[in-house]
Amino acid sequence: MPEDELEDLPGVGPATADKLVENGFESYQSIAVASPGEMSNTADIGESSAADIINAARDAADVGGFETGATVLERREEIGKLSWQIDEVDDLLGGGIETQSITEVYGEFGSGKSQVTHQMAVNVQLPPEHGGLDGGCIFVDSEDTFRPERIDDMVRGLDDEILVDEMERREIEGTPSDEEAMEELVGAFLDQIHVAKAFNSNHQILLAEKAKELAGEHEESEWPIRIVCVDSLTAHFRAEYVGRGELADRQQKLNKHLHDLMRIGDLFNTAILVTNQVASNPDSYFGDPTQAIGGNILGHASTFRMYLRKSKGDKRIVRLVDAPNLADGEAVMRVQGEGLKPE
């Protein structure tokens, strides 16, 4: 939305409009759903003035009303499903990773969390008939996990039928057995993965805001952003906020970060995939003591929660822990050189 339209709101002049846009309040809707305290703190506007601006934006944006279930169903038909290329896991998720939702994957070190984010960065670029979303990927890397070599492996590990179709679609001459053509195809996949390394939690939060800008720039392009991967969501927050005295501050910042990510999902019909670290619960006497960190803030923000557990050899157990409309269950996959594969 152009800044001059924000100036139509009472109390918003050119300088205030600049502040609002700089802090992510770019539309009537984004202002309408903010709280006076949030706007006051982030945009340096008095709380009373912020309340007046928000109320005016709510009237202008017509938010907060009710709608019929049929209207909600119609809107949900726009949601895309990103396939894992593993039938058993896709069935568990009702078809795959949903756009406009946060999917959290947690597990111990080496359980395959980063493998999932790399695989989805590849799969998202496939057309819907092959389980993809015809889109690009934003990859926020907080643990130095992104490896282009792994993308190379996973592209080469796609089915030959998919590889032939992708070469034709991307106008690459050759066949999957032609090394030069395959190198060109891998490069084409890498071109649609936008990677940024987060150096601390504040930088990670900033990158989420930059991701929103990037998604907006690509929305009308041939490769709109259809997935944002954050690997891992909690590493920096866990390292920087140590002890119970820091817990409230950590959770508050984590909550804001999650809402920034969710905004991208809602605005651009994008899937949000985050990985999470775990801790051992010493109070657990029965069953698996492993639990995701991040507390209720992350638990409530994640639409789908998935737990990865090591099994024998390259096998991994994928467990759906929480979903609003799906039953809990488990599936088995393998983490191999060519990527994630069925059992």
Binding site, annotated residues for ATP: 107-114
How far, in Å, are 134, 140, 170 from residue 146 at the CA level?
21, 9, 24
- Among residues 135, 93, 71, 175, the alpha carbon closest in space to that of 265 is found at 135
Looking at the DSSP bridge assignments, the partners of residue 98 are 81
- 8 Å CB contact between 94 and 106: no
Chain position carrying tokens 């078809």: 95
∠ CA(233), CA(236), CA(239), 5° rounding? Answer: 130
Q: What is the DSSP secondary structure assignment for residue 62, as one 8-state letter?
A: T
Chain position carrying tokens 């340096």: 44
First to last CA, the chain: 49
* Residue 162: CB atoms within 10 Å: 19
Task: Indicate the pairing of strand 271-276 with strand 102-107.
Answer: parallel
Sequence-ordered list of residues with C-beta below 8 angstroms from that of 313, at least 6 positions apart, any chain: none
- 8 Å CB contact between 106 and 276: yes
- 8 Å CB contact between 295 and 250: no
In one-letter notation, the amino acid at residue 209 is E
What whole-number distance in Å separates Cα of residue 316 and Cα of residue 249? 35
- Cis amide bond preceding 232, omega within 30: yes
Task: Indicate the pairing of strand 271-276 with strand 225-231.
Answer: parallel
How far, in Å, are 176, 180, 187, 227, 300 from residue 172 at the CA level?
11, 10, 11, 25, 44
What whole-number distance in Å separates Cα of residue 23 and Cα of residue 25? 6
